[in-house]
Amino acid sequence: MELNAGAGGNGSHKTASERDEVAALESLQFTDEIRRLMSAPGGDNASSFTALLELPAPQAVQLIQSPDSAKLIAAPAPAPAPNVDDFRGSFQFPFNCGLIDRAARFSVFAGDGNINGNNKSNSPEPTSYNSSASLQKPVKNEPAETESSQPLVSDPTVENRSIKRKDREKVKGSSKKSKTSAKESSEDAEKLPYVHVRARRGQATDSHSLAERARREKINARMKLLQDLVPGCSKISGTALVLDEIINHVQSLQRQVEFLSMRLAAVNPRIDFNLDSVFTAESGSLMDSNFSGMVIPMMWPEVQLNGNRQQYPQQLHLDAFQQPVSGREEVCNSYLTPENSLLSYDSSGNSASLHSNQLKMEL
Amino acid sequence: MNPSSLKSRFATRFLRALTQIHARKPICSSSPTEIFRRYRRIKAAADKSMAYSVRSRKTWTGAVLWKLRSRSCGRRSAKTSTFIKSQQAIMKRTRHEKQNKNTTTTTTTGEHGVGFGVEASELRELVPGGEAMDYCNLLDETAHYIKCLTTQVKVMKKIADFYSL
């Protein structure tokens, strides 16, 4: 059995993990408690306790004296209950399956004898941590803990999340240890039967926080998509500015649509629309035959076309954005004149097919 | 050009609508009022054809079509009907979400109105049908809406350029 092996001090991996645990434990300022427990040597109580901790006991004392508390805080070891029984409970925290198994076996083994023994050893000590209350709870909790060791194993992802939360909260928790340890111990003891708990005081219950986290991640993913859609948004950091940029973009797009429809309203009367055929027809010959029926105003050479196209949209955009709605009608009137000038050009129909092909390719 | 893309679908519909508009009322006078009326019709046609061209079901398309229909029916009923419609949308969405995701209903229904400050309310005003959505879906709708608006602008620009020559 592992316990026997542990008692013999041979389980090096176990000792290392337990050493880490104990180290972390006293790093959270339970040094007094541990010393008291360690130094109570007489009889079975102490020996059983030391047997539980087995080899690490003297090493724990060494670690107490070592100044490396910072490292210990950073180590992903279970936190903190001030009492021995809570220690035992904390051994059951799941950082690896082996530990869980060992912890389960420990608690089963120690459930009968050592609890009473430790109760005796603890009772004469000054109970600054309201240990009596917390002692009772772990007694009840331990069988539940052994049962919960299985679900502990089966929820690695949740554990990982809780482990991360632990690491984050650990530093916070350690700072208010001494004052709030009593409350925390009782709360930790209450939460011990449940999985992943390391939730600190003030932390929401897990289902809500997980759901909220999932929601937040969804929102962040969508914000990223929006940033990609909106040009020039990827450089900006900060949600509010990105949102402002998105809002501006949507507004500008809506205004462009209005503006273009205004332009179409002004332009179109001159021209007959048979462009459906342009898009429905796949073959080029079909398009050419349809074009013969179309009235197409003509036609600059292409270079000039492109130049004019670029000019007009810029002017139109600037005008539209600056003027109020009533001014739009004037703008429309001003558009008609350049269009008149364009339409007055009647070059040959060679460019007609070229132009419609061009439009098709562009679209 | 992909015949089944959003762009081509929108372009076909929009051009058909344009031909209808021009066939209905060949322009007799280029007075500002005439042009303005025509502009209104064209804009409505553009929005409508965009809303119809969308394949996936989105809230904003329904809202756009609703507004257009209510506007054509009568302006008095527009506001109330949009309000009723938004309420129905909320009901549908909460029911839908309850069926799918049990855990998130409390958070999503609580999100409506508790946006991220001023920007969320502004966004809701801009995106059609945005009042009745929670923040998460609002961002989704905004992304789709921006995509559709950009295609709309591109197509209309090309058409306008084509015909302004």
pLDDT tens digits, residue range A7-58? 444 444 445 555 555 555 555 555 566 566 556 544 444 455 555 555 554 5
pLDDT of residue B95: 60
Alpha carbon of A242: minimum distance to chain B alpha carbons (Å): 10
Q: How far apart are CA B131 and CA B90, in angstroms?
A: 9
ipTM of the complex, rounded to two decimals: 0.78
- What percentage of chain B reaches a pLDDT higher than 90? 5
Q: Is B39 on the interface with A (CB under 8 A)?
A: yes
User: Chain A: nearest CA to B80, how far in angstroms?
Assistant: 24
The predicted pLDDT at position A259 comes to 87
Cβ distance of B104 and A215 shorter than 8 Å: yes
In the predicted structure, residue A251 carries a pLDDT above the cut 90 = yes
B48 or A293: which leads in pLDDT:
B48
Contacts of A266 in chain B (CB under 8 A): 30, 35, 39
Percent of chain A whose pLDDT exceeds 70: 17
Best CA proximity match to B64, nearest among B16, B127, B125: B127
Give the tens place of pLDDT for each residue, B30-77. Answer: 778 888 888 888 888 888 888 888 888 888 888 888 888 888 887 655
Pair A267, A335: CB distance under 8 Å: yes
- Give the pLDDT confidence score for residue B4 in this predicted structure: 83
Q: Does B24 touch chain A (CB under 8 A)?
A: no
Q: How far apart are CA B45 and CA B68, in angstroms?
A: 9
Q: Which residue of B has its CA nearest to A266?
A: B35
pTM of the full structure: 0.46
pLDDT at A320 (0 to 100): 44
Q: How far is B164 from chain A (nearest CA, A)?
A: 6
Instruction: Please report, for residues A38, A140, B105, B122, the alpha-carbon distance to residue A46 in angstroms, rounded to integers and kept in the order given.
Output: 7, 22, 53, 68
- Give CA angle at A268 (A264, A273), nearest 5°: 115
pLDDT, residue A207, reads 86
When the pLDDT of each residue in chain B is averaged and rounded to a whole number, the result is 76
C-alpha–C-alpha distance, residues A135 and A193, integer Å: 15
Q: Do B19 and A276 touch (CB under 8 A)?
A: yes
Q: Of B1, B18, B47, which is closest to A268 when you measure between CB atoms?
A: B18
Cα angle for residues A304, A310, A316 (degrees, 5° grid): 130
Sign of CA dihedral A197, A198, A202, A207: negative
Contact A273 B19 (CB under 8 A): yes
Count other Cβ atoms within 10 Å, centred on residue A308. Answer: 16
B2 phi/psi in degrees, rounded to 5: -70, 120
Instruction: Band the pLDDT of B131: cuts 50, 70, 90.
Output: confident
CB contact under 8 A, B27 and A299: no
| Listed range (A92-101, B31-40, B87-96, B125-134) with the worst mean pLDDT | A92-101
Q: What is the pLDDT of residue A115?
A: 46
When pLDDT is averaged across residues A167-176 and rounded to a whole number, the result is 47
More confident position, A144 or B154: B154
* Cα(B37)–Cα(B147) distance, integer angstroms: 27
- Say how many C-beta atoms besides its own lie within 10 A of residue A31's C-beta: 17
Q: So what's the pLDDT on residue B80?
A: 59
Average pLDDT over residues A133-138: 45
Region of poorest pLDDT, from A21-25, A135-139, B65-69, B141-145: A135-139
Q: How far from A245 is each of B60, B114, B131, CA to CA, in Å? A: 20, 20, 20
CA distance A340 to chain B (A): 9
**B128 with B69: CB under 8 angstroms?**
no
